Structure 1
Amino acid sequence: MLLRPATRADLPAVLALLADEERVVDPASVTVTPAYERAFADIEADARNEVLVLVDDTDDGDPVIGCLQATYIPGLGKGGAERALIEAVRIRADRRGGGLGRELMSRAVERARSRGCALVQLTSNKSRTDAHRFYASLGFARSHDGFKLAL
């Protein structure tokens, strides 16, 4: 397995992973809108943001089997160190249960550590109880309640 920054060619596969957690979505069926194009270009151009893909380098058909977005946030807490925010973590539905999510997260945490981040944080929808158990098994602790305001 290879973890690497996503390229524009990976965008349909990433959007397919985000489209439905419960089933495999064919990347060819995903419409890449101008808004997605702009968002990906902005992420790619920002040194503090990255979309990472987990690639099965033995699969010639649809090698992207996982993804996440990492944002590196400078702050005055933790001695001025960056913190990493991890979001949009997905493993393709037909590849779950074999340790790939653990591999994806451990590699992302190592990337944050190598950048000098003092903390890795993430949010997860309250309805994703399986994901919460998974994150706890990786050593993540519930520490805050989050709030969002839709605009």
Structure 2
Amino acid sequence: MSAAPEPVRPTALTLRPAARADLPAVLALLADEERVVDPSTLVVDEAHERAFTAIDTDPRNEVLVLVEGADDQDAGGRVVGSLQVTYVPGLSKGGAERALIEAVRIRADRRSGGLGRILMERTIDRARARGCALVQLTSNKKRQNAHRFYDRLGFARSHDGFKLAL
């Protein structure tokens, strides 16, 4: 039986937009939810580079990383979580933007220690400061632990989502 992760010291963490140097760590988080993947074992291919550049240069999109052991100006430290936010303009809600959060990940060996809550709360604060009237997300129906987590954060299961693979 593994020991529970140590509680997180919020001051030791920074939420910031991902830099190109963070891309392998973000891809490692996305590669496997159940185990820690060494970023150095992954290949960052041309499609990843294109996607990152498109997100990075679009003012309505950002990949955010939660970094341990770095300050706001430091691109160093260890990436322990990430997500993508798309700011969607809309005519409802008085013409306010909504923040669409996707691909939320915390390192497998760091779950259940408060990092996910910090990642989400700081992202929500960022959306609020931008003027968003709503934060929304979808989650795979198989991810029951994630659903309980989002419920605890105050998200309401108000809509059913539909996807069409192309």
TM beyond 0.5: yes
Tell me, yes or no, if structure 1 residue 44 matches structure 2 residue 39. no
Distance, in Å, in 1 between the alignment partners of 2:139 and 2:36 is 21
Aligned length: 149
Which 4+ runs in 1 deviate beyond 3 A? Answer: none
Counterpart secondary structure, 1:108: helix
| Higher RCO (CA < 8 A, seq sep 6+) | 2
Displacement of 1:79 after TM fit?
A: 0.3
Partner residue in 1 for 2:66: 54
Q: Report the residue type matching 2:31 in the other structure.
A: A
Structure 2 residue aligned with 1:15, among 27, 33, 49? Answer: 27
Question: Can you list the C-alpha shifts for 1:125-148, whole angstroms capped at 9, x where unaligned?
Answer: 000000000000000000111111
Displacement of 1:62 after TM fit?
A: 6.3
Counterpart secondary structure, 1:120: strand
Partner residue in 2 for 1:83: 98
CA-based RMSD of the aligned residues comes to 1.1
Partner residue in 2 for 1:138: 153
Unmatched tracts of structure 1, length 5 or more: none
Counterpart secondary structure, 2:157: coil
Partner residue in 1 for 2:126: 111
Partner residue in 1 for 2:7: none
Displacement of 1:8 after TM fit?
A: 0.5
Structure 2 residue aligned with 1:95, among 103, 110, 117? Answer: 110
Counterpart secondary structure, 2:136: strand
Distance, in Å, in 2 between the alignment partners of 1:140 and 1:53 is 21
**Cα separation, partners in 2 of 1:96 and 1:24, compared to 1, 3 Å:** same
Counterpart secondary structure, 1:141: coil
Alignment of 1:30-41 (within 5 A): 30-41=42-53
Displacement of 1:31 after TM fit?
A: 1.0
Residue pair 2:84, 2:102 contacting (<8 A) in 1 also: yes
Partner residue in 1 for 2:5: none
Residue pair 2:69, 2:77 contacting (<8 A) in 1 also: no
